[in-house]
Amino acid sequence: MAEGVVCVRERPDGKRSANGKEFDPERLFLPPDDDLAPNRPGETLRARLDGSGAAGPSGRARLALARLLGRRPVEDAWRRALAAEQCVGAALEGLASGGWDVVHSIVLPGDAIVSHLLIGPGGVFGIASRPAARARVRAGVSEVRTDRERHPQPYVREARHDAARASLVLSRGCGFLVQVRPVLVLVGARSVDVSPELDDVRVLEERDVPGLGAFGGVLHPDRSRRVHTVARNRRVWLWA
């Protein structure tokens, strides 16, 4: 058996993904802990917040004190990121009727997260959702600068790198080349200006996300289903 490949077996009743679609025509399934298809947008961030205890009385008191002292609790950043992923995830789920599947919250080694992997007629898109908090944004070749933050953020570089890792994993698992095109979605930005030198990462605002469904002519439905079958397997990402 090839490294990183998990056996699957028939399931008598069809299991469904978060968007209500059956996973694939072969009616294959994975152990529940290894199946990413039911993930909700921001699944990993939800788990981090739950584990931090921020929702309990002591957690809320701790966060309130930190804010009073001028600190920036990491839980606040997680909540903003979660809201961004939920916003983009809802828009992506709306593409299901057009033959698209989406896998949310894929964790890569090193704790990087592919917010969403969109798979369908137009190919495969690795989508990073990032909050922009009503900022004016300038997306350069590797970084994003805003008028609200002193330091630039490496969002473009991260989206590019994570898409390349996803392409390697999916190509190996599928047995054919799978090109994953990087997309960076800046949620809640007041304006977004993209450098003309940036030509390999698509930078969008949340209102532009449904437009990804207009792409076609890249993946045959059989290959699209195969990519989705591989992508939902948590174990294949252990070697990303």
Does residue 110 lie in a domain region?
yes
Of the chain, the percentage scoring pLDDT greater than 70 comes to 79
Average pLDDT for residues 205-213, to the nearest whole number?
Answer: 98
Can you give the pLDDT at residue 26?
39
Could you tell me where the DSSP H helices lie in the chain? 43-52, 57-68, 74-93, 155-174, 221-231
Does residue 9 lie in a domain region?
no
Please give the structure tokens belonging to residue 133: 């908090």
Does residue 23 lie in a domain region?
no
Does residue 11 lie in a domain region?
no
CA dist 58 and 139 (Å) reads: 39
Query: Based on the structure, what is the number of domains in the chain?
Result: 1
Total residues found in the chain within this entry: 240
CA dist 48 and 120 (Å) reads: 30
C-beta of residue 228 within 8 angstroms of C-beta of residue 24: yes
Does residue 139 lie in a domain region?
yes
Average pLDDT for residues 157-167, to the nearest whole number?
Answer: 98
∠ Cα 142 134 90 (to 5°):
80
pLDDT digits (tens, 9 = 90+) for 211-231: 999 999 999 999 999 999 999
Does residue 45 lie in a domain region?
yes
pLDDT digits (tens, 9 = 90+) for 139-151: 999 999 999 888 9
Does residue 116 lie in a domain region?
yes
Does residue 16 lie in a domain region?
no
CA dist 77 and 98 (Å) reads: 33
What domain range includes position 86?
Answer: 36-237
Can you give the pLDDT at residue 31?
87
pLDDT digits (tens, 9 = 90+) for 65-99: 555 555 667 778 889 999 999 999 999 999 999 99
Average pLDDT for residues 44-69, to the nearest whole number?
Answer: 66
Chain-centre distance of CA 31, in angstroms? Answer: 22
